[in-house]
Every structure is written in structure tokens, then in C-alpha cells.
Amino acid sequence: MGFQVPLRSNLTAIKAYVPGKPIEELERELGVKNATKIASNENPLGPSPKVLEMLKTQLSNISRYPDGSAHGLTQALAKHLGVNASQIMIGNGSNELLVLLSQMVLNPGDEVMFADQSFVVYPLSTQLFEGVAKVVPLKDFTHDMAAFSNALTPKTKLVFICNPNNPTGTFVPLLAIEAFLKICPPNVLVVLDEAYYEYVEEKTYLGSLKLIQDYPNLVVLRTFSKVYGLAGLRVGYGIGHPDLVSVFQKTRQPFNINALALSAAQTALSDSDHLRKVLELNKAMRQKISEGLTRLGLKPVPSQGNFVYFKVPQAQDLYQQLLLKGVIVRPMGPDALRVTTGTVEETEKFLTAFGQVYSNSGAKS
Ligand SMILES: Cc1ncc(COP(=O)(O)O)c(C=O)c1O
């Protein structure tokens, strides 16, 4: 007898999230050894060595529940960011925060606005809570904030802005975000997803936390998964109005962040030398990838993140060819690829492999 319990009807339309292909899977399926994964915007240098040392000392404590209030990390973040601890919410990755924030505000039929090419969790959590997606096309691979303003309706409840945008790497200047917030009614929750904030160099982008005071309907999300190299431990955080944060405390699970993750995140925050190394490598590799692709006649989109997006015909085929050469990138539909910055060796391996498969393919006209 199979499973016969009727499920909530909205679940039938949801397609499960497909993550970047794990290295082990590639090795299992195609027998490829020493594969390089530059598909999921992870940090090629990993976490700070101080984090790894500290984790060893914490292992013997894992029989204890973690600090359910995440006191140490919350205080450290408040100090680091110059905000009040009552404004901080901590999630099991910023992914959990995206879902919980949706759950907190959405009633069936509420409209949720996000860009057509952006982080896949926005449509997923919209569907999960029976919202109605209002998809706004990117303009020149970039969020079009004027179009966001025009798409607001009395039914809009939640807006996701991904800045810099995943997968295109483009950014919206702070002035454009503020212009949108001025128009957006205060009963609409605006989530500014800044998973790649630390990589940004454009000065016109920086400083979103300043907006929180004037716009209590704004939440800024950041993560320890990218620049801090802790994707496997799952810690993200949000900064918003204390009223929203106190409701969040009711909706999350009591121990949503595990003990190792809490200590790791706090230690990672204090190692600014490691952060500097990560940012320097990222900048150099982002440039190397862009220059390499440009030499092949392609037009990589200028990126502020730790990845480069480019349009290329037959992207699925090129992705498969790269897999055979032990390089995992992320296909983005039929005509685009996204490549994460790697170490120097990983980046060079990608450029060499891509140069070969691209030249041999019909994609190069
Ligand atoms: C734009 C964006 N938001 C959120 C996330 C989720 O990150 P986390 O690992 O903190 O859940 C990602 C991860 O790739 C992302 O690209």
C-alpha cells in the first residue's frame, strides 16, 4: 500500500529545490576523479583557521542543547553591525529566514514580488504559503526598481530584493532601494537579501542598515555561508524592527542554530585577516574569469558577488561537457552559466576546460 494521505493542494505545484551537483555524485555517476565544484557560490578558502581550531574544543559539548537565545552571537553581531541586539534575528542559514519571514506575513492570495531571474527560494516560499507571485523582469540583468514600484498593488504583502543579485551578480544602488521604500506602503514587508554584501566594492551600494531606522518594514538578510565560509554549518541573520524580531522568536524552532554553528559564526566574525584574504582572492578570480570569458568573445555580466554569470548558447550541453572534465558549474536555463570564483588552480582549471569545450562546441559561432 502506498502513501494515501491527501497533501495540501499547493504542494503539488512546487518543484523541490535542486542544489548544485555534489562532487561525490559526479565521481559516482561519471567516475570523474578530483572534481572541482564552482557551482554553489561557496568559499574556496573555507572558514578562518581560528574557527577550525575552536570547533575542535567544542566537539565534546555536543551532548548539550545549544544556547536557544543565541546570546553570544547576537551580541557580537550587534556590536559588529552597530545595531541593537533586539533588531537581530538568527536563522538556520538565511534560507530559513526567507521561509520564516514568508510564513510570518503571508495569507493565501497575498502578492509577493521578486525579479524573474533571482534566488530560487523566493518563488518556493511564495508557493509554500499560497502567495501569488508577481514576477518583475530584470533590466540589463539588474533589478528594475521603477518596475517594482509600478507593480505594487493593494494586495502586495512581501517584496524580495536580491542585492547583489544571484545569479547575475548585478547590484542596485542604495538610492534606488530607498526610492522604492519611499513609495512602498509601510504594510508591505521588504526583504533585502544581501547574501553577497561583503564582496561588494561599489560605494553607491553600501550602507543599507542605515535605512532600517526610517523604514520599519525593511529587513536586511546576510549570511555566514559565503564570505565566512560556513555554508555547511547553516547560519544566516536578519536585521529589522524589534517588533518583527520578537514575532520571529515565536515562529522559529527553539534550537534552530546548532551549538557548533553558533560558536563558529562568532569566531568567524572576529577574524578580519581571513576576511581580507577571502575578498582579495575573490576580486582577483572574478576578474580572471571575466577576462578569460571576454577573450573567448563572451560577455560576462559585471559582478559584485563571488560568481560570474554569462549568456552562452547550448549552456546545458557545455555544462555536461565540463562535468566530463571534472568541473561543476551551474547551468542557468538553456542559455546561461554561473561560475563561482575558486582558488587560483580551480579558476585556471575552469578556464582551460571551458576554453576547450566551448571551442569544440557548436556554441561558438
Ligand atoms: C541570494 C541568496 N540568498 C540566500 C541564500 C541562502 O544562503 P544560506 O546558506 O545563508 O541559507 C543564498 C545561497 O546561495 C543566496 O544566493
354: domain CATH number is 3.90.1150.10
Residue 365 has a pLDDT of: 63
Q: Is the CB of 163 under 6 A from ligand 1?
A: no
Residues 26 and 98 in one domain: no
- What CATH number has the domain bearing residue 232? 3.40.640.10
Residue 91 has a pLDDT of: 98
* Global pTM value: 0.96
Q: What are phi and psi of 305, to 5 degrees?
A: -105, -155
Tell me the CA–centroid distance for residue 243 and ligand 1, in Å: 24
Residues 239 and 308 in one domain: no
Distance CA(303)–CA(309), nearest Å, equals 8
Total count of domains within the chain: 2
Show which of 242, 270, 298 is a domain's final residue.
270
Residue 83 has a pLDDT of: 97
Residues 331 and 190 in one domain: no
Residues 303 and 353 in one domain: yes
Distance CA(292)–CA(287), nearest Å, equals 8
Tell me the CA–centroid distance for residue 252 and ligand 1, in Å: 18
Residues 302 and 225 in one domain: no
Output the CA–CA distances (angstroms, integers) from residue 93 to 234, 235, 256, 278, in the order listed: 4, 4, 10, 20
Residues 154 and 301 in one domain: no
Residue 325, CA atoms < 13 Å, CB-side half-sphere: 20
CA nearest ligand 1 atom 8, residue: 93
Residue 28 has a pLDDT of: 86
CA nearest ligand 1 atom 15, residue: 195
205 within domain boundaries: yes
Using DSSP bridges, classify how beta strands 156-162 and 189-193 pair: parallel, antiparallel or unpaired: parallel
8 within domain boundaries: no
Residue 31 has a pLDDT of: 84
- What residue has cell string 548544485? 20
365 within domain boundaries: no
71 phi-psi bin (left φ>0, alpha ψ -120 to 50, beta other): alpha
228 within domain boundaries: yes
Residues 266 and 284 in one domain: no
Show which of 216, 243, 270 is a domain's final residue.
270
Residues 74 and 177 in one domain: yes
184 within domain boundaries: yes
Show which of 270, 301, 336 is a domain's final residue.
270
Nearest CA among 125, 158, 162, 124 for reference residue 141: 162
pLDDT tens digits for range 111-139 = 999 999 999 999 999 999 999 999 999 99
Please tell me whether the peptide bond between 173 and the residue prior to it is cis, using omega within 30 degrees of 0: no
Task: List per-residue pLDDT tens for the chain, 365 residues long.
Answer: 899 898 888 888 888 887 778 888 888 888 888 899 999 999 999 999 999 999 999 999 999 999 999 999 999 999 999 999 999 999 999 999 999 999 999 999 999 999 999 999 999 999 999 999 999 999 999 999 999 999 999 999 999 999 999 999 999 999 999 999 999 999 999 999 999 999 999 989 889 999 999 999 999 999 999 999 999 999 999 999 999 999 999 999 999 999 999 999 999 999 999 999 999 999 999 999 999 999 999 999 999 999 999 999 999 999 999 999 999 999 999 999 999 999 999 999 999 999 999 998 877 76
Q: Is the CB of 193 under 6 A from ligand 1?
A: yes
Tell me the CA–centroid distance for residue 338 and ligand 1, in Å: 15
Atom of ligand 1 nearest to the CA of 236: 10
Residues 93 and 233 in one domain: yes
Q: Is the CB of 131 under 6 A from ligand 1?
A: no
289 within domain boundaries: yes
13 within domain boundaries: no
Domain containing 256: what range? 49-270
Atom of ligand 1 nearest to the CA of 92: 11
| Total H helices, total E strands in the chain | 12, 12
Q: What are phi and psi of 135, to 5 degrees?
A: -95, 125
Residues 106 and 253 in one domain: yes
24 within domain boundaries: yes
Residues 244 and 281 in one domain: no
Residues 299 and 163 in one domain: no
